[in-house]
């Protein structure tokens, strides 16, 4: 039971990163100027880097969202992370209390 919940949470985290990475790529390709600091020759990696640093709440600030849709995407990403963190802590506490 414990292993399956941990594996599920890891897979959910991976899905969230992939989901928001795809949204950032779609926004970047839809219109110029959504993000400052993205190298046009290496934009796929730069947006993956941006998504993972945002997901880990590090956020170095070298790539920043500029327009409203990209900023809203970052807000939804952070709200998803807060919800996910609360769910993860709750799951681990309930597992540890049952043992």
Burial class (CB in 10 A: 0-12, 13-18, 19+), 51: buried
Q: How far is CA 56 from CA 4, 13, 41, 72, in A?
A: 23, 10, 25, 18
Whether pLDDT at 2 is above 80: no
Average the pLDDT over each of 7-11, 67-71, 90-94 and give the range with the smallest value: 90-94
Whether pLDDT at 93 is above 60: yes
**String of b and e for 63-80 (b: at least 16 CB within 10 Å)?**
bebeeeebeebbeebeee
Give the residues across from 35 on adjacent strands.
65
CATH of 2-98, one of 2.40.50.420, 1.10.287.70, 3.30.70.1280, 3.40.50.720: 1.10.287.70
pTM of the model: 0.77
Q: Calculate what percentage of the chain has a pLDDT beyond 90.
A: 42
Give residue for tokens 């839809």: 30
Helix (H, G, I), strand (E, B) or coil at 66: coil
């Amino acid at each position: 039971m414990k292993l399956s919940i941990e594996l599920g949470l890891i897979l959910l985290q991976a899905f969230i990163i992939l989901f928001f990475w795809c949204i950032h790529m779609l926004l970047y390709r839809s219109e110029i100027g959504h993000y400052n600091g993205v190298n046009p020759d290496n934009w796929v990696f730069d947006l993956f880097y941006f998504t993972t640093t945002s997901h880990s709440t590090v956020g170095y600030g070298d790539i920043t969202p500029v327009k409203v849709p990209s900023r809203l995407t970052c807000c939804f990403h952070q709200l998803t992370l807060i919800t996910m963190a609360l769910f993860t802590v709750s799951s681990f506490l309930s597992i540890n209390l049952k043992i």
